[in-house]
């Protein structure tokens, strides 16, 4: 019963309280959510949630079934073969090495998105593991603040 990382997409009706229905289901069973993203599905009344969690096969099967049981849930996918991306924003002091940071972030599908008097902000978008790598790499430039978006994923 190895606890593996699971990525679950849930298509729900875009209405009040639907997000708490989904998250209650996790918290009520003591399952942790590693990341969660929500946004409307274009041109529809639905929203798409991408949830990253971990657990055994039995636990994740149970989560998928319980999600299905929620009335406003249209579809649930547990992804196996997928393209998964995550975004991160990182704020550096303005005196950091602009060229180094720019080059590094370019290698992670990103670049400098804001330059201010005191700080510069970099955006990258990549696989979650690579986002982690990037965040490790840039530690030496003393980032002031970091934010990760959580994963979004599509089945191949």
Partner 1 sequence: MQISGAQMVIEALIAEGVDTVFGYPGGAIMNIYDEIYKQDGFKHILTRHEQAAVHAAEGYAKVSGKVGVAMITSGPGFTNAVTGLADAYMDSIPLVVISGQVPMSLIGTDAFQEIDAVGISRSCTKHNYLVTDASELARILKEAFYIASSGRPGPVHIDIPKDVTAQIADFDYAKPIALETYKPTIKGNARQIKKAVDTIVKAKRPLFYLGGGIINSNASEEVRRFVSMTGIPAVETFMARGTLRYDDALLISMLGMHGSYAANMAMSETDLVIALGARFDDRVTGKLSEFAKNADIIHVDIDPASISKLVNAHYPIVGDVKGVVIAMMDAIADKVEPTRYEPWLETIANFEKLHPLSYLEEEGVIKPQWVIERIGELLGDKANISTDVGQHQMWTAQFYPFTRARQFISSGGLGTMGFGFPAAMGVKRADMDRVSINITGDGSILMNIQELMTAVENKLPVINVILNNQYLGMVRQWQTLFYDKRHSSTDLSAGQPNFTMLVESFGGVGYEVTTKAEFDAALKDAIEKNVVALINVSVARLENVMPMVPSGGSLFNMMLASKEK
Which residues make up the interface to partner 1 (CB under 8 A)? 12-13, 16-17, 20-21, 24, 28, 58, 61-62, 65-66, 68-69, 71-74
| For partner 1, the closer CB: 13 or 121 | 13
Q: Which one, 16 or 156, has the nearer CB to partner 1?
A: 16
Q: Using CA atoms, how far apart are residues 80 and 6, in angstroms rounded to an integer? A: 9
Q: How far is the CB of 91 from partner 1 (least distance, A)?
A: 34
Cβ closest to partner 1, residue 13 vs residue 112: 13
Residue 2 DSSP label: -
Query: Which tokens is 15 given?
Result: 């209405």
The distance of closest approach from Cβ of residue 142 to partner 1 in the complex, given in angstroms and rounded to an integer, is 42
**b/e map of 66-84 (b: 16 or more CB within 10 Å)?**
bbeebebbeebbbbeebeb
CB of 36 to partner 1, least distance (A): 17
Among 115, 134, 128, CA closest to 83: 128
């Amino acid at each position: 019963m190895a606890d593996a990382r699971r990525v679950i997409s849930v298509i729900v009706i875009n209405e009040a309280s639907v997000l708490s229905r989904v998250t209650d289901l996790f918290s009520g069973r003591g399952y942790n959510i590693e990341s969660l993203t929500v946004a409307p599905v274009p041109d529809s009344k639905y929203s798409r949630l991408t949830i990253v969690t971990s657990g055994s096969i039995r636990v994740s099967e149970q989560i998928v079934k319980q999600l299905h049981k929620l009335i406003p849930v249209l579809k649930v996918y547990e992804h196996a073969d997928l393209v998964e991306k995550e975004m991160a924003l990182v704020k550096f002091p303005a005196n950091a090495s602009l060229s180094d940071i720019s080059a590094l972030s370019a290698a992670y599908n990103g670049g400098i998105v804001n330059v201010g008097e005191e700080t510069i902000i970099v955006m990258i978008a990549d696989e979650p593991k690579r986002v982690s790598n990037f965040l490790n790499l840039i530690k030496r430039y003393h980032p002031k603040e970091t934010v990760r978006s959580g994963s979004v994923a599509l089945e191949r």
